[in-house]
Amino acid sequence: MSVITPKKSIPNGVMLNAYPDSIGHNLKDIVSMLQLPEFRNTFSLFYVLPTFFNSDLDRGFSIINYDINEELVSKQDIEDLKALNIQLKFDIVLNHLSVASPQFKDLIAHGEESKFKDFFIDWNEFWKGNGTAGEDGIIKPNKEYLDKLFMRKSGLPILNIVFPDGQERPYWNTFYQKITFQKITVSDLHSITAIAPEEANAVCEKVNRAVEENQDFQTLDLGYGNEINTEVLKIVNSKREYLGQMDVNANSPLVWEFYEDVLAKVASYGGQILRLDAFAYLHKAIGESNFFNKPGTWDYLARINEIAQRNNLELLPEIHAEYGLHLHEEVAKEGYAIYDFFLPGLCIHAIEKGTNKALLTWAKDIITKGLKTINMLGCHDGIPVLDLKGKEVNGSYQKGLLEDNEIEDLMNLIIERGGLVKNLYGADGKKISYYQVNATYFSALGESEQKLALARAIQLFMPGIPQIWYLDIFAGANDYVGVEKAGKDGHKEINRTTLSLENIQEGLKKEVVLKQLDLLRLRNTSKAFSGTLEFGEAAENELHLIWRNGAELAQLNANLTTHEFSIQYTDNGELKNLLIQKGLSY
């Protein structure tokens, strides 16, 4: 038996993860659920996703401002959570803001005269002298620079906006963007004297047909000369509407003033932990991948941490990268907690293949390297797979936690069970890598209640703070209706089903739900989990994980082939059994 002691004590609390309206209609309904006797002592933390703030798309990750979204959240909700001894974790989206943010709206309204002209990144200004402008006026970076760029979508990461003088400008937009045009009316054309009143209807019909059919207005023949066409296009462009997450310019002092205000604001709401979403994209430089540029990203992170410390906030940088790159270790060595994006895939692999090898490799990695982690199974996003890969680093291949063929098997299994794939793209629009699979964790496990209970037990006995997706507690299955309703790019809705309070009451009659709550309560209250983790001798298809802290003990014995498992623990010095066998019966 080997014994490994963590370098730092790992906090004992369990963390709930949900949107403010994941249960019922608003945060008040989630509070009502947490006040039920079945949920007593199950959670110490709550990661409230960013629809807590005012936002407009990407389910909260396109922030308009960091004021409380009063449609979903009240100050009384926050006080009620404090009364339950539940601390709060929030998001700040460092890399971007919504086009509906006050800053970007000011830019659109005032153009060159805007106070916020440099708050965002003018694509052409950034690449000036390092690329070639096309017929559309957009600079395409030189090949040696373009090939280095790390992309989250196909095509150049830009959104074209129109300034008040009619000039169209491309602005950096790493993530989501959409432009919609409104139909014009005859009255809109009154200022163009060259268009006779009796001809205005015909012009409107042509333009509005183009709007309906999403045609390119530049090629629209209105039957007039270029000058008149240009005047009409100005009117059309003046009625365009934007959706998008616009990258901010971290070279602007105004951006850092904004960060100062935001961190003070989230701390005032009672935030204890601050997750830094998309922080690795913030630093941008010519000739870099613009994903975790070094040392620039470290410099930015240090500046953010200084602000966080002044507001008593602990930072949690969110980073997706291949295990073989060991970027997670670099972040951890700087003293930051990291997300354990490896566990979701490793847990499914262990349960489906009946092997503990990769899972134990990672568990021992966490402890021997002193990594402070927050782990999960399901979450608001997908099940990560890119993270498990190896990586070529400086001419040497660094192994992943799983081999490529094992990752492919894992992906294919989840897809066979109804999962949807998310990929990454190069600047030429070609897929360069898979990224994640979207599915509920229950469906990814073949909708086996026994496998779900075992996965939960494994998660709770792994090092780190366990973060629990609300839908997993209730064994939520893939939501294809939600995906269809969301339309294009709505794949994430497969795992975001809103549960009614009636669903909660029905769920609390199910054994798989009650047994998970028992497990959560044990993990949340036992002092054993603040001690040391022992790895008992076990066959490859078994797990023996033992936490000790003085006289306190919690032990998991699991069979990865039959999926039976049992738990022993101490309660005020008395040894007790939490035995969960096949079929979820004690």
Catalytic residue set: 277, 318
Whole-angstrom distance, CA of residue 488 vs CA of residue 470? 25
DSSP string for 391-445: EEETTEEEP-SS-HHHHHHHHHHHHHTT-EEEEEE-TTS-EEEEEEEE--HHHHT
Centre a 10 Å sphere on the Cβ of residue 72 and count the other Cβ atoms it contains.
22
Whole-angstrom distance, CA of residue 392 vs CA of residue 396? 6
Whole-angstrom distance, CA of residue 265 vs CA of residue 271? 9
Whole-angstrom distance, CA of residue 253 vs CA of residue 267? 22
Whole-angstrom distance, CA of residue 418 vs CA of residue 480? 9
Whole-angstrom distance, CA of residue 516 vs CA of residue 16? 13
Beta bridge partners of 274: 90, 315
Peptide bond into 37 cis (omega under 30): no
Whole-angstrom distance, CA of residue 117 vs CA of residue 44? 43
CA distances for 130 relative to 8, 125, 140, 159, 284, angstroms: 47, 10, 8, 19, 14
Phi, psi dihedral angles at 529 (to 5 degrees): -75, -5
Buried b or exposed e, range 426-464, using 16+ CB within 10 angstroms:
bbeeeeeebbbbbbbbbbbbebebbbbbbbbbbbbbbbb
Whole-angstrom distance, CA of residue 315 vs CA of residue 268? 16
Whole-angstrom distance, CA of residue 361 vs CA of residue 350? 12
H or E segment and range at residue 145: helix 143-146
Q: Which residues contact 364 (CB under 8 A, 6 or more apart)?
A: 4, 535
Cβ pair 337, 8 in contact under 8 A: no
What spatial distance separates the first Cα and last Cα of the chain, rounded to whole Å? 28
Whole-angstrom distance, CA of residue 386 vs CA of residue 375? 16
DSSP conformational letter for 307: H
What percent of the chain is helix, strand and coil (3-state, nearest 5)? Answer: 40, 25, 35
Class of residue 550 by CB neighbours under 10 A (exposed 0-12, middle 13-18, buried 19+): exposed
Phi, psi dihedral angles at 507 (to 5 degrees): -60, -35
